[in-house]
Amino acid sequence: MQRIRLRYTKRGRLRFTSHRDFQRAFERALRRAEVPMAYSAGFTPHPKVSYANAAPTGTGSEAEYLEIALTAPRDPESLRELLDESLPTGLDIVDAVEARTSGLADRLTASVWELRLDRVPVEDAENAVVAFLAAETVEVQRRAKNGMRTFDARGAVAGLEVVRPQPDRTLDGPCAILRLVVRHVTPAVRPDDVLSGLRAVADLAPPVPAAVTRLAQGLFDEESGTVTDPLALDREAVPTAPPTAVETASP
């Protein structure tokens, strides 16, 4: 059985696609592309697809990951092209590797997010970031299944800074762009939790909803403060050669 790991995106209007909607669209793409999928056993067999740490509905992403199991080998790049053609524009398959290591989900320990705050002056955002990072804890609330839950949004944040907009971006009024690096902890700290924390410590309240995009996710490097590519280990792993019978002559 061959396992293929894929990186896909949620862009433009497709960022409002729920995880369940994506699952349905992806399974249709598997059928259109005639991928030789492995199926689970039981009364209701389903394709063996493992999803990892999906982004919340309403956020864009350049770095979503999943793994599929095949009953016959396929070239990862050719498979990527077939699946990409079978999905709507915005749900794009942008990378594919053969799984040669275990534990993809274990390598998704942090995410890099971009938070675009339209109509927020850069100076106001910078002051709020300084106040947030200076705090030992920043308590925020989020509605859960059992009611409102209070937790610390500061401890999971490994990095937070204001970056200047790119020159080619069309800006209508002031705009602050935040770069957020957050560790994957329990309970999960999401970008909107950090925005709630900025409002709590510095009264930063964007007049319009923030445009949030996940730029990367993977292993967090404590020394450099960066998030590494979770598929790199699979690319670097040497394929295991099939065993061959070799007779060794005695000296």
Eight-class DSSP state of 203? -
State the Cα–Cα distance between residues 178 and 83, nearest whole angstrom.
Answer: 33
Cα 247 to Cα 148: distance, rounded to the nearest angstrom: 70
Mean pLDDT of 143-148: 83
The predicted pLDDT at position 147 comes to: 82
Alpha helices, DSSP H, located in 120-186 = 122-134
C-alpha 156/C-alpha 153 separation (Å) is 6
Amino acid 43: pLDDT: 87
Residues 11 and 90: beta-carbon distance below 8 Å: yes
What is the spatial distance between Cα 64 and Cα 11, in angstroms, rounded to a whole number? 11
Angstrom distance (rounded) from CA 110 to CA 227: 7
C-beta neighbour count of 211 within 10 angstroms: 17
**Nearest CA among 194, 182, 225, 206 for reference residue 132:** 194
Q: How far apart are the first and last CA of the chain?
A: 41
Condensed to tens digits (0 to 9), the pLDDT of residues 201-245 reads 999 999 999 999 999 999 999 888 899 999 999 999 877 655 454
Average pLDDT over residues 45-51: 93
Amino acid at 167: P
How high is the pLDDT of residue 170? 54
Average pLDDT over residues 168-176: 73
What's the pLDDT tens digit per position in 2-28?
999 999 999 999 999 999 999 999 999
Measured between alpha carbons, how far is 176 from 242 in angstroms, rounded to an integer?
A: 55
Compute CA 233 distance to the chain's CA centroid, rounded to the nearest angstrom: 17
pLDDT band at 112 (very low <50, low <70, confident <90, very high): very high
71-91: average pLDDT: 96
**Burial status of residue 174 (CB atoms within 10 A of its CB: 0-12, 13-18, 19 or more):** middle
Residues 106, 38 contacting (CB under 8 angstroms): no
What is the SS3 assignment for 111? strand
Whether the CB-CB separation of 118 and 177 falls below 8 Å is answered with no
Work out the percent of the chain whose per-residue pLDDT is above 70: 92
Instruction: Report the pLDDT averaged over residues 140-163.
Output: 92
Per-residue confidence (pLDDT) for residue 250, from 0 to 100: 45
Residue 249 has pLDDT above 60, yes or no: no
| For range 54-75, the mean pLDDT | 96
pLDDT band at 168 (very low <50, low <70, confident <90, very high): low
Rounded to two decimals, the pTM is 0.89
> What's the longest Cα–Cα distance across the chain?
83
Residue 228 CA to chain centroid, in angstroms? 12
Question: Residue 201: which of 148, 149, 153 has the closest Cα?
Answer: 153
pLDDT of residue 23: 95
